[in-house]
Chain A
Amino acid sequence: MSANLEREKAALLAGQSAAEKASLVPKILFGTTVVSILASIYFIFIFSSIEKTMGVVQKIFYYHVASAWCAFLAFFVTFIFSILFLAKRKRIFDTYAYVSAEIGVVFTTIVLTTGPIWAKSSWNTWWAWEPRLTTTLILWFIYMAYIMIRQMDGVWDKKARLASVFGIIGFIDVPIVFFAIRWWQSKFHPIVFGNGPSQKGGGIEPNMLVALLVSITALTLLYSYLLQKGVTLENMRIKVTQYKEKLREDLEN
Protein backbone atom coordinates (compact mmCIF):
# COMPACT_ATOMS: atom_id res chain seq x y z
CA MET A 1 0.00 0.00 0.00
CA SER A 2 1.23 3.48 -0.72
CA ALA A 3 2.68 5.56 2.04
CA ASN A 4 -0.16 8.04 1.70
CA LEU A 5 -2.71 5.36 2.36
CA GLU A 6 -0.79 4.09 5.35
CA ARG A 7 -0.85 7.55 6.84
CA GLU A 8 -4.58 7.93 6.23
CA LYS A 9 -5.31 4.60 7.83
CA ALA A 10 -3.18 5.44 10.83
CA ALA A 11 -4.98 8.74 11.16
CA LEU A 12 -8.33 6.99 10.94
CA LEU A 13 -7.54 4.41 13.57
CA ALA A 14 -5.92 6.99 15.79
CA GLY A 15 -9.00 9.13 15.48
CA GLN A 16 -11.24 6.26 16.40
CA SER A 17 -9.26 5.26 19.46
CA ALA A 18 -8.94 8.89 20.45
CA ALA A 19 -12.70 9.21 20.25
CA GLU A 20 -13.08 6.21 22.48
CA LYS A 21 -10.34 7.13 24.95
CA ALA A 22 -10.77 10.88 25.31
CA SER A 23 -14.31 10.21 26.38
CA LEU A 24 -13.96 12.17 29.58
CA VAL A 25 -15.63 15.28 28.15
CA PRO A 26 -18.64 13.42 26.71
CA LYS A 27 -18.99 11.46 29.92
CA ILE A 28 -19.01 14.63 32.00
CA LEU A 29 -21.52 16.22 29.64
CA PHE A 30 -23.76 13.19 29.72
CA GLY A 31 -23.61 12.96 33.49
CA THR A 32 -24.39 16.59 34.13
CA THR A 33 -27.16 16.49 31.51
CA VAL A 34 -28.88 13.57 33.20
CA VAL A 35 -28.51 15.13 36.63
CA SER A 36 -29.85 18.49 35.54
CA ILE A 37 -32.76 16.95 33.67
CA LEU A 38 -33.77 14.98 36.73
CA ALA A 39 -33.40 18.13 38.78
CA SER A 40 -35.54 20.08 36.35
CA ILE A 41 -38.31 17.49 36.55
CA TYR A 42 -38.28 17.81 40.32
CA PHE A 43 -38.36 21.57 40.15
CA ILE A 44 -41.12 21.65 37.59
CA PHE A 45 -43.48 19.20 39.12
CA ILE A 46 -42.81 19.40 42.81
CA PHE A 47 -41.07 22.62 43.66
CA SER A 48 -42.87 25.21 41.59
CA SER A 49 -46.38 26.18 42.49
CA ILE A 50 -49.40 25.57 40.35
CA GLU A 51 -50.39 28.63 38.39
CA LYS A 52 -53.67 30.25 39.32
CA THR A 53 -55.34 30.78 35.96
CA MET A 54 -54.07 27.97 33.80
CA GLY A 55 -53.56 25.23 36.31
CA VAL A 56 -51.26 22.30 35.95
CA VAL A 57 -51.08 22.73 32.18
CA GLN A 58 -48.86 25.72 32.65
CA LYS A 59 -46.04 23.31 33.51
CA ILE A 60 -45.58 22.69 29.80
CA PHE A 61 -44.32 26.24 29.57
CA TYR A 62 -41.02 25.41 31.26
CA TYR A 63 -39.73 23.03 28.64
CA HIS A 64 -41.44 24.98 25.86
CA VAL A 65 -39.56 28.17 26.69
CA ALA A 66 -36.34 26.32 27.54
CA SER A 67 -36.45 24.56 24.15
CA ALA A 68 -37.06 27.86 22.39
CA TRP A 69 -34.05 29.33 24.18
CA CYS A 70 -31.91 26.33 23.21
CA ALA A 71 -33.06 26.46 19.59
CA PHE A 72 -32.09 30.09 19.44
CA LEU A 73 -28.74 29.35 21.04
CA ALA A 74 -28.15 26.58 18.51
CA PHE A 75 -28.87 28.87 15.60
CA PHE A 76 -26.71 31.60 17.06
CA VAL A 77 -23.86 29.09 17.27
CA THR A 78 -24.50 28.19 13.63
CA PHE A 79 -24.33 31.89 12.77
CA ILE A 80 -21.01 32.37 14.56
CA PHE A 81 -19.43 29.29 13.05
CA SER A 82 -20.70 30.24 9.60
CA ILE A 83 -18.88 33.56 9.88
CA LEU A 84 -15.79 31.79 11.21
CA PHE A 85 -15.85 29.34 8.35
CA LEU A 86 -16.11 32.05 5.71
CA ALA A 87 -13.19 33.84 7.34
CA LYS A 88 -10.87 30.96 8.15
CA ARG A 89 -12.11 28.11 5.90
CA LYS A 90 -11.37 25.38 8.41
CA ARG A 91 -13.62 22.35 8.03
CA ILE A 92 -14.24 21.99 11.76
CA PHE A 93 -16.11 25.29 11.79
CA ASP A 94 -18.50 24.08 9.14
CA THR A 95 -19.02 20.82 11.03
CA TYR A 96 -19.96 22.69 14.20
CA ALA A 97 -22.33 24.93 12.23
CA TYR A 98 -24.07 21.99 10.58
CA VAL A 99 -24.46 19.87 13.71
CA SER A 100 -25.69 22.86 15.67
CA ALA A 101 -28.29 23.61 13.00
CA GLU A 102 -29.51 20.03 13.10
CA ILE A 103 -29.90 20.10 16.88
CA GLY A 104 -31.56 23.48 16.54
CA VAL A 105 -34.16 21.95 14.24
CA VAL A 106 -34.81 19.22 16.84
CA PHE A 107 -35.41 21.81 19.56
CA THR A 108 -37.52 23.92 17.24
CA THR A 109 -39.66 20.86 16.53
CA ILE A 110 -40.14 20.48 20.28
CA VAL A 111 -41.27 24.09 20.54
CA LEU A 112 -43.62 23.67 17.59
CA THR A 113 -45.22 20.57 19.05
CA THR A 114 -45.54 21.71 22.65
CA GLY A 115 -46.90 25.08 21.52
CA PRO A 116 -50.07 23.73 19.93
CA ILE A 117 -50.56 21.27 22.79
CA TRP A 118 -50.46 24.15 25.24
CA ALA A 119 -52.67 26.27 23.00
CA LYS A 120 -55.22 23.48 22.75
CA SER A 121 -55.31 22.97 26.46
CA SER A 122 -55.55 26.64 27.34
CA TRP A 123 -57.60 28.24 24.61
CA ASN A 124 -59.06 25.25 22.81
CA THR A 125 -57.35 26.09 19.55
CA TRP A 126 -54.51 24.18 17.99
CA TRP A 127 -52.69 27.17 16.61
CA ALA A 128 -52.39 30.82 17.50
CA TRP A 129 -50.85 33.22 15.05
CA GLU A 130 -48.87 34.85 17.77
CA PRO A 131 -45.40 36.24 17.21
CA ARG A 132 -43.20 33.72 18.98
CA LEU A 133 -44.88 30.63 17.58
CA THR A 134 -45.09 31.93 14.02
CA THR A 135 -41.48 33.10 14.11
CA THR A 136 -40.52 29.65 15.33
CA LEU A 137 -42.34 28.12 12.39
CA ILE A 138 -40.48 30.32 9.93
CA LEU A 139 -37.27 29.58 11.83
CA TRP A 140 -37.93 25.89 11.32
CA PHE A 141 -38.26 26.41 7.58
CA ILE A 142 -35.15 28.58 7.38
CA TYR A 143 -32.98 25.97 9.03
CA MET A 144 -34.52 23.10 7.10
CA ALA A 145 -33.45 25.08 4.03
CA TYR A 146 -29.95 25.31 5.55
CA ILE A 147 -29.85 21.53 5.98
CA MET A 148 -31.09 21.07 2.41
CA ILE A 149 -28.23 23.20 1.14
CA ARG A 150 -25.79 21.07 3.09
CA GLN A 151 -27.25 17.94 1.52
CA MET A 152 -26.67 19.24 -1.98
CA ASP A 153 -24.55 17.33 -4.42
CA GLY A 154 -20.98 18.52 -4.75
CA VAL A 155 -17.69 19.00 -3.01
CA TRP A 156 -17.78 19.77 0.68
CA ASP A 157 -16.19 23.18 0.54
CA LYS A 158 -18.70 24.54 -1.94
CA LYS A 159 -21.59 23.22 0.14
CA ALA A 160 -20.02 24.54 3.32
CA ARG A 161 -19.44 27.97 1.82
CA LEU A 162 -22.98 28.29 0.47
CA ALA A 163 -24.50 26.96 3.65
CA SER A 164 -22.47 29.41 5.73
CA VAL A 165 -23.73 32.30 3.63
CA PHE A 166 -27.28 31.11 4.13
CA GLY A 167 -26.65 30.62 7.83
CA ILE A 168 -25.69 34.27 8.12
CA ILE A 169 -28.66 35.48 6.11
CA GLY A 170 -31.09 33.23 7.94
CA PHE A 171 -30.01 34.37 11.36
CA ILE A 172 -30.17 38.06 10.52
CA ASP A 173 -33.61 37.49 9.07
CA VAL A 174 -35.01 36.11 12.31
CA PRO A 175 -35.32 39.34 14.35
CA ILE A 176 -36.92 41.06 11.37
CA VAL A 177 -39.41 38.23 11.00
CA PHE A 178 -40.21 38.45 14.69
CA PHE A 179 -40.90 42.16 14.59
CA ALA A 180 -42.92 41.92 11.40
CA ILE A 181 -45.14 39.22 12.84
CA ARG A 182 -45.52 40.91 16.19
CA TRP A 183 -46.67 44.02 14.45
CA TRP A 184 -48.97 42.07 12.18
CA GLN A 185 -50.58 40.43 15.14
CA SER A 186 -50.93 43.42 17.40
CA LYS A 187 -52.59 45.52 14.76
CA PHE A 188 -55.23 43.13 13.67
CA HIS A 189 -55.51 40.48 16.29
CA PRO A 190 -55.08 42.04 19.67
CA ILE A 191 -54.00 39.39 22.04
CA VAL A 192 -57.39 38.45 23.40
CA PHE A 193 -56.04 35.78 25.62
CA GLY A 194 -54.45 38.16 28.03
CA ASN A 195 -50.80 37.40 27.77
CA GLY A 196 -49.82 35.13 24.89
CA PRO A 197 -48.33 31.76 25.54
CA SER A 198 -44.85 33.09 25.27
CA GLN A 199 -45.14 35.89 27.73
CA LYS A 200 -44.68 34.93 31.29
CA GLY A 201 -47.84 36.44 32.64
CA GLY A 202 -48.23 39.38 34.96
CA GLY A 203 -45.62 38.48 37.50
CA ILE A 204 -43.68 35.32 37.64
CA GLU A 205 -43.30 33.87 41.06
CA PRO A 206 -39.75 33.21 42.25
CA ASN A 207 -40.16 29.45 42.49
CA MET A 208 -41.43 29.36 38.93
CA LEU A 209 -38.45 31.40 37.88
CA VAL A 210 -36.14 28.91 39.53
CA ALA A 211 -37.85 26.01 37.77
CA LEU A 212 -37.54 27.84 34.47
CA LEU A 213 -33.85 28.52 35.00
CA VAL A 214 -33.20 24.92 35.94
CA SER A 215 -35.02 23.74 32.81
CA ILE A 216 -33.03 26.12 30.65
CA THR A 217 -29.78 24.89 32.19
CA ALA A 218 -30.83 21.27 31.71
CA LEU A 219 -31.68 21.70 28.06
CA THR A 220 -28.56 23.77 27.39
CA LEU A 221 -26.46 20.96 28.82
CA LEU A 222 -28.40 18.51 26.65
CA TYR A 223 -27.63 20.72 23.67
CA SER A 224 -23.90 20.76 24.49
CA TYR A 225 -23.88 16.99 24.88
CA LEU A 226 -25.66 16.47 21.57
CA LEU A 227 -23.37 18.99 19.88
CA GLN A 228 -20.24 17.31 21.12
CA LYS A 229 -21.51 13.87 20.16
CA GLY A 230 -22.67 15.05 16.76
CA VAL A 231 -19.38 16.77 15.96
CA THR A 232 -17.35 13.72 16.96
CA LEU A 233 -19.57 11.55 14.77
CA GLU A 234 -19.27 13.94 11.84
CA ASN A 235 -15.49 14.10 12.17
CA MET A 236 -15.30 10.31 12.11
CA ARG A 237 -17.55 10.22 9.07
CA ILE A 238 -15.30 12.72 7.30
CA LYS A 239 -12.21 10.66 8.10
CA VAL A 240 -13.85 7.47 6.83
CA THR A 241 -14.88 9.19 3.60
CA GLN A 242 -11.40 10.56 3.07
CA TYR A 243 -9.90 7.14 3.71
CA LYS A 244 -12.25 5.53 1.22
CA GLU A 245 -11.32 8.16 -1.36
CA LYS A 246 -7.63 7.47 -0.89
CA LEU A 247 -8.31 3.74 -1.10
CA ARG A 248 -10.15 4.23 -4.36
CA GLU A 249 -7.34 6.31 -5.78
CA ASP A 250 -4.85 3.72 -4.71
CA LEU A 251 -6.79 0.91 -6.32
CA GLU A 252 -6.93 2.78 -9.59
CA ASN A 253 -3.18 3.15 -9.78
Chain B
Amino acid sequence: MNFVYGAYSVIWLIIFGYMVILGRRQNKLKKEIEFLKQLDR
Protein backbone atom coordinates (compact mmCIF):
# COMPACT_ATOMS: atom_id res chain seq x y z
CA MET B 1 0.00 0.00 0.00
CA ASN B 2 2.93 2.28 0.76
CA PHE B 3 4.02 1.78 -2.78
CA VAL B 4 0.77 3.18 -4.07
CA TYR B 5 1.16 6.29 -1.96
CA GLY B 6 4.76 6.60 -3.05
CA ALA B 7 3.95 6.19 -6.72
CA TYR B 8 1.13 8.66 -6.77
CA SER B 9 3.04 11.23 -4.73
CA VAL B 10 5.88 10.94 -7.23
CA ILE B 11 3.45 11.43 -10.10
CA TRP B 12 1.89 14.53 -8.60
CA LEU B 13 5.29 15.86 -7.57
CA ILE B 14 6.52 15.62 -11.15
CA ILE B 15 3.38 17.21 -12.60
CA PHE B 16 3.33 20.05 -10.10
CA GLY B 17 7.06 20.45 -10.41
CA TYR B 18 6.65 21.00 -14.11
CA MET B 19 3.85 23.50 -13.54
CA VAL B 20 6.07 25.37 -11.08
CA ILE B 21 8.77 25.52 -13.75
CA LEU B 22 6.24 26.90 -16.21
CA GLY B 23 5.09 29.43 -13.62
CA ARG B 24 8.63 30.59 -13.05
CA ARG B 25 9.15 31.07 -16.78
CA GLN B 26 5.96 33.06 -16.96
CA ASN B 27 7.03 35.30 -14.07
CA LYS B 28 10.38 35.92 -15.65
CA LEU B 29 8.65 36.91 -18.89
CA LYS B 30 6.27 39.21 -17.04
CA LYS B 31 9.18 40.94 -15.32
CA GLU B 32 10.92 41.45 -18.65
CA ILE B 33 7.80 42.92 -20.21
CA GLU B 34 7.38 45.26 -17.25
CA PHE B 35 11.00 46.30 -17.58
CA LEU B 36 10.59 46.98 -21.27
CA LYS B 37 7.46 48.97 -20.61
CA GLN B 38 9.43 51.04 -18.09
CA LEU B 39 12.13 51.68 -20.65
CA ASP B 40 9.51 53.17 -22.85
CA ARG B 41 8.46 55.79 -20.29
Contact = CB atoms under 8 A, between A and B. Distances in A.
A121 interface: yes
Interface of A: 9, 12, 16, 56-57, 59-60, 63-64, 67, 103, 106, 109-110, 113-114, 117-118, 120-121, 222, 226, 229-230, 233, 236-237, 240, 243-244, 247
Contacts of A230: 22
24 contacts: A56-B1, A57-B3, A59-B4, A60-B3, A60-B7, A63-B7, A106-B14, A109-B14, A110-B11, A113-B10, A114-B7, A114-B10, A117-B7, A222-B15, A226-B19, A226-B22, A229-B22, A233-B22, A233-B25, A233-B29, A237-B29, A240-B32, A240-B33, A247-B39
B3 A117 contact: yes
A69 B21 CA distance: 23
Contacts, number: 65
A222 B4 CA distance: 21
B32 to A, nearest CB: 6
A226 B4 CA distance: 25
Contact of A110 (B6, B14, B33): B14
B6 to A, nearest CB: 6
Contacts of A120: 3
Contact of B3 (A12, A103, A118, A244): A118
Contacts of A240: 29, 32-33, 36
A243 B33 CA distance: 10
Contacts of A117: 3, 6-7, 10
